[in-house]
Amino acid sequence: CLGNIKERGKAVNAYISVEDRDYLQQQASEAQTRWLKGQSKSVLDGVPIAIKDNICTERMKTTCGSKMLQDFQSPYDATVIKLLRKAGALIIAKANMDQFGMGSANVYSHFGHVNNPQNTDGHFHLSMESLPSHKRSAGGSSGGSAAAVASDLCFAALGSDTGGSVRLPASYCGVVGFKPSYGRISRRGLVAYANSLDTIGILTKDVADVELLYGILSKYDNQDPTSMLPDLRERIEQEFAQHYDDLDQDSLKGIRIGIPQEYRVQELNESIVNIWEAGIRQLKELGAEIVPISLPHTQYALPAYYILALAEASSNLARFDGMRYGYSDDNQESDLLYADTRTEGFGSEVKRRIMMGTFVLSSGLYEEHFLPAQKLRRLVQQDFNDVFSLPNPLLENAVADLNNMKKVHAILTPSAISTAPSINSSIPEADNPKHHSKIKAVDAFVNDVMTVPASLAGIPAITVPGGVSRVDGWPVGLQLLSQYGDERTLLHIANQFQ
Ligand code: GLN
């Protein structure tokens, strides 16, 4: 990996910090000795993992992709980092990202854009300098994590997924991106964007590798008040046991997969529809039964998400005030420390979002925007509960409906409405007036239309490579979704489907 970083690290720009070489080599040789003695700490002992730069690590900086935290050194390791280190994994680098997780194309990083390492012929695009106008986005906000996995700068990477930030870059870069149920993996040490939606996700080249990392990270954490309680974890295993016993190891026999008509949105490229249809055929060949389903409130998910996420963000980001930690404007002449720090420290998109978030929370508008968005979130959740055959374990009195042929174990949709957009077309006019871009910052929001419903519902979701577009030859992912807490069925299907 270090060799690959040297060779193509700059061109891809996936990393903000790379761990000290001597330290890594020392760790790697200790791991090797353990393996040779048959005393490895876990399957991940000595395996290099990259970490999105909004997850706190004691070593290396934690910048959140922003000038605001460009020199920030966390005093502690996030719980996921502790678990990885305990398993012997090597934390190789901190991955580039859209500032504070806000964005879909990784063009909002203080440390430069991430370049999509795929080429149209499926090979790495190593001479990107020569073709700046053809550079494609790696997706965001975990673009560095996805590009690092795709170009072999690490074995696997952690990202964060609030509204699709693991699944969208995975789709654009042709890798696997998994977002667990809300609360499954500890958020302690993940810098908050929108707490009620934030999850830590996993990016790898295949589903079996996701399972390895998930096995290590899916633990109750008493330092995260939103961590799924041990009782609930056990109850899910017990309540779903009958269904898990019935899973066929070599096929998808007995599995029903829903195809929601509402995901066929106007913006969905025809070439993506073709890949979706090919995915449906493949599932049938594997023995699954395909069931047309309806999730009637899907169209409200995107606006509801962008009201709720921004409202939460505007409150979370209030802590960056120039006094406690991070960037501080040191202009002695000015007595506006708070305003100056935030004006200079935050990037343009973050400032736009703080303003929109504050706006929807202001008195009068709260009732008009925020409360309806909360209600719509419930309706989106309800849509999913209505179609899944397994009950939502968070709801009292919910019962399994395993034999109802209209209900499904999982849902298949595209992960994105298009293949990776060009970087130029992803930079809004407001940030690049010279460039004559007609794009408004809000135009980018539509790229999240496939991923935000699962985030609002807190259910697990995974992007697996679906194929390449007939039009431009670039990869696109297909997304599988399952009931809250039912990662097992999701990964079981994804494993055979990939
Ligand atoms: N693109 C979405 C946003 O900007 C999702 C981001 C994320 O999941 N962190 O809010």
Per-residue model confidence as pLDDT tens digits over 400-426: 888 899 999 999 999 999 999 999 889
CA angle 75, 79, 85 (to 5 degrees): 90
Residue tagged active-site, from 141, 145, 181, 426: 141
CA–centroid distance, residue 377 to ligand 1 (Å): 16
Give the Cα separation of 158 and 189 in Å (integer): 13
Q: Tell which atom from ligand 1 comes closest to the C-alpha of 306.
A: 10
250 pLDDT more than 50: yes
Q: Tell which atom from ligand 1 comes closest to the C-alpha of 193.
A: 9
Exposure string of 185-215, with b = 16+ CB inside 10 Å and e = fewer, is bbbbbbbbbbbbbbbbbbbbbebebbbbbbe
Q: What percent of the chain has pLDDT over 90?
A: 84
CA–centroid distance, residue 408 to ligand 1 (Å): 28
Give the Cα separation of 51 and 31 in Å (integer): 20
Per-residue model confidence as pLDDT tens digits over 427-478: 888 887 676 667 888 888 999 999 999 999 999 999 999 999 999 889 999 9
Q: Tell which atom from ligand 1 comes closest to the C-alpha of 104.
A: 1
Residue to mutate, 193, 356, 443, ligand 1, most ligand atoms under 8 Å from C-beta: 193
203 pLDDT more than 90: yes
CA–centroid distance, residue 298 to ligand 1 (Å): 17
CA angle 495, 274, 122 (to 5 degrees): 65
123 pLDDT more than 70: no
Residue tagged active-site, from 17, 52, 74, 407: 52
Please tell us whether the domain made up of 2-231 is placed in CATH 3.90.1300.10.
yes
Ligand 1 within 6 A of CB of 106: no
Residue 442: per-residue pLDDT: 86
Domain ranges of the chain: 2-231
Residue to mutate, 52, 165, 426, ligand 1, most ligand atoms under 8 Å from C-beta: 165
CA–centroid distance, residue 3 to ligand 1 (Å): 31
Residue to mutate, 100, 107, 141, ligand 1, most ligand atoms under 8 Å from C-beta: 141
Residue 77: per-residue pLDDT: 98
User: Which residues lie below 8 Å from residue 411, measured CB to CB, with a gap of 6+?
Assistant: 257, 258, 259, 260, 293, 387, 480, 481, 482
Residue tagged active-site, from 17, 66, 74, 165: 165
Residue 122: per-residue pLDDT: 46
Give the Cα separation of 259 and 293 in Å (integer): 6
Reply yes or no on whether 165 is catalytic: yes
Residue 1, Cβ density class (10 Å: 0-12 exposed, 13-18 middle, ≥19 buried) = buried
Question: Closest residue (by CA) to atom 10 of ligand 1?
Answer: 102
Ligand 1 within 6 A of CB of 96: no
Q: Tell which atom from ligand 1 comes closest to the C-alpha of 455.
A: 8
Q: Tell which atom from ligand 1 comes closest to the C-alpha of 166.
A: 8
Reply yes or no on whether 482 is catalytic: no
Per-residue model confidence as pLDDT tens digits over 302-354: 999 999 999 999 999 999 999 888 899 877 777 788 899 999 999 999 999 99
Reply yes or no on whether 52 is catalytic: yes
Residue 121: per-residue pLDDT: 45
